[in-house]
Homo-oligomer: A and B are copies of this chain.
């Protein structure tokens, strides 16, 4: 690969002049030289050495996307993360940046990578309050936090999430409007966004004079060897309900199959709802009644907010973006009024 210095020597000009042409500062260079230099640039297919450029200019044009994992899982197996990543990549690239991807379990690792590479900005997913604060303290550049709670108001950090509580509230209200009274809520934990969804469920139950609360929180434990026991137990407990609000399409589908395999008909005998509206939500049978979120947009907005901070647009950048959701009614909830 040809370098600036080599070109400068070839043409008997200075590296400054070549550099200026490369960066389109043609006003500072005589037309004749612009031409000569551009010709060589093209002829030798000049490519800048980005490492050198970064070192000299103290920036990197790298944006990191790091998603938190526990254990050895592959988070991108989940359609949600895959789609999110794709949207982020597109935005990052089209804005002239480069995307580095990490699945990490430890903030210290995150710190090491973003500092060493001198990354210009970071998009994170799944880290919680203390962890973000840790990062924010030692990494003084923009951070976008996706789908987290309790991380508001940190300096140079932006939160992006859904109206989780409202969405779950509306879903629950819809199910109640179909005549259901014994309704459970299911998730794999009760923190962060799952907790918000749980709160929405509780509120709707409360307002309808029905009993929600912790005793109707069903915990699902997928991915370990007790999964089958867990499903069996959930199956048994499900007889106490006519409907179950699940915090993801993934769990809704698992339930769907576990129940149907055991001979329980959905939605005739029990109704099930999902969350996210991922690709297969409309593919499973019965098709899932669910909450749609626009994952693509989430990724896009994330990067755009990041870039806005990067450019340091003098106008203040909002520090929180809450994306809308939409109730999608399909076939997995039975109308008991009919």
Contacts and interface: CB of A to CB of B under 8 A. Distances in A.
Integer count of this chain's copies in the complex:
2
B103 A101 contact: no
Given A50-B118, A282-B257, A103 B86 contact: yes
Interface residues of A, number: 52
Contacts of A87: 74
Interface in A54-103: 54-55, 60, 72, 74-79, 81-83, 85-87, 89-90, 93, 98-103
Nearest to A50: B116
B98 A99 contact: no
Interface string A216-247: 00000000000000000000000000000000
Interface string A103-136: 1000000001101111000000000000000000
Interface in A29-67: 45, 47-52, 54-55, 60
B253 A280 contact: yes
Interface on chain A toward B: helix, strand, loop, or mixed SS? helix
B49 A116 contact: yes
A329 interface: no
Interface in A154-181: none
A221 to B, nearest CB: 18
Contacts of A82: 76-79, 81-83, 85
A283 B115 CA distance: 42
Contacts of A20: none
Interface string A294-320: 001000000000000000000000000
A10 interface: no
A209 interface: no
A86 B79 contact: no
Given A55-B49, A60-B51, A90-B74, A260 B285 contact: yes
A79 B49 CA distance: 35
B86 A74 contact: yes
Contacts of A113: 98
Contacts of A263: none
Contact of A103 (B83, B89, B253): B89
Given A86-B74, A282-B257, A296-B74, A98 B100 contact: yes
Given A51-B117, A98-B113, A86 B76 contact: yes
Interface of A: 1, 45, 47-52, 54-55, 60, 72, 74-79, 81-83, 85-87, 89-90, 93, 98-103, 112-113, 115-118, 138, 253-254, 256-257, 260, 279-280, 282-285, 296
Closest 7 CB pairs of A and B: A82-B82, A76-B86, A74-B86, A280-B280, A51-B54, A76-B82, A285-B285
